[in-house]
Amino acid sequence: MKAVVVHQYGGPEVLKFEEYPDPAPGPGEVQVRVAATSVNPIDYKRRAGLTKDYYPIQFPGLIGVDIAGTVVKIGPGVQGFSAGDQVFAMAANTYAELCVVNAATLAKIPKGLDLIQAAALPLVTTTGNQLISASGIKAGQTVLVVGAAGNVGRSAVFTAKQRGATVIAAVLGSQEDEAETIGADQVVATDDDNAIANLPMLDVVADTVNGKTAEKLIAKVKPGGVFASVLGAPRNASTYTSVRVVPVVAKPDARTLQFMAEGVRDGKLVIPISRKMPLSKAAEAQAAAEKGGVGKVLLVA
């Protein structure tokens, strides 16, 4: 198969589109022909060597987390999937024409959802959902989602609304108009100190940005409330001993992914896609993604 192979850590130029051995499905695994994958920050952080102490690449190796494609082969002991099924998942080594996925984490793409579009969803929607789940938010409570205009943030807003919470979307002032469209009950600018000061005390803050913004917003959590974050605790968290700080690391979950994908299919959740590029252009795609922006960059195999 052709794949995007990494031989050393470095910039986007170290991504080489070349021949690589086909992966074979073992017990409990499914071989999937990749229709598309997407570029996530973890991908370019791994490529650059920023995660090598805890998530290294074995050279020559592959990267990539999101996958949408078609089942080719079924490994021993796998039930519920057949060749030709359209599926998607959080996986590993997805920048390739073929990928092996643990069947327990694989989900069938909901009818009516485009196969290529589905590749944008696994990591960001699962992360946003699990951020809210980990916070323990209940119906009637109020949660502030920090970075709500981002893809993880949008997914968190959707999840919290589905749970019956009141949701405040916290975004930069320049993103306020955009944030009005994502389904929150209220929008607040994180770079407006007066707006932050006027916030009510909150049951939960669900954070996707950290930094100085997180340090300001942990002060708005009620005693006994929760500050949940996908980027770790704010540096000043020890000052707020009455706040429970919950770190969140996304884990593959087929049911969660299917639930979130149905929300996308039904138009209740929008994960913007800014461009689709051939898998062979992965270096160019990562360079574009690293510049930032709202939309996902897809790599089509």
pLDDT at 292: 82
Question: pLDDT tier at 173 (50, 70, 90 boundaries)?
Answer: very high
Do residues 64 and 37 make contact, with C-beta atoms less than 8 angstroms apart? Answer: yes
Closest CA to 60 of 92, 22, 15, 12: 15
**Mean pLDDT of all residues in the chain?**
97
Question: pLDDT tier at 164 (50, 70, 90 boundaries)?
Answer: very high
Statement: the pTM of the whole predicted model exceeds 0.85: yes
- 291: pLDDT strictly greater than 80: yes
pLDDT at 235: 96
- 211: pLDDT strictly greater than 80: yes
pLDDT at 261: 98
Q: Over the stretch 229-245, which tens digit does the pLDDT of each residue have?
A: 999 999 999 999 999 99
175 DSSP 8-state letter: G
3-state secondary structure of 127: helix
- 153: pLDDT strictly greater than 70: yes
Question: pLDDT tier at 169 (50, 70, 90 boundaries)?
Answer: very high
Q: In percent, how much of the chain has pLDDT > 70? A: 100
Q: Over the stretch 30-39, which tens digit does the pLDDT of each residue have?
A: 999 999 999 9
Sheet holding 221-229, edge to edge: 186-189, 166-171, 142-146, 202-207, 221-229, 244-247
Two tokens at 224? 């006994």
pLDDT at 125: 98
Two tokens at 124? 């960001």
The type of residue at 185 is D
pLDDT mean over 161-186: 96
The secondary structure element, H or E, covering residue 152 is helix 151-162
Residues in contact with 179: Cβ distance below 8 Å, sequence separation at least 6, in sequence order:
148, 149, 169, 171, 187
The type of residue at 140 is G
- 87: pLDDT strictly greater than 80: yes
Do residues 289 and 151 make contact, with C-beta atoms less than 8 angstroms apart? Answer: no
- 71: pLDDT strictly greater than 70: yes
- 294: pLDDT strictly greater than 70: no
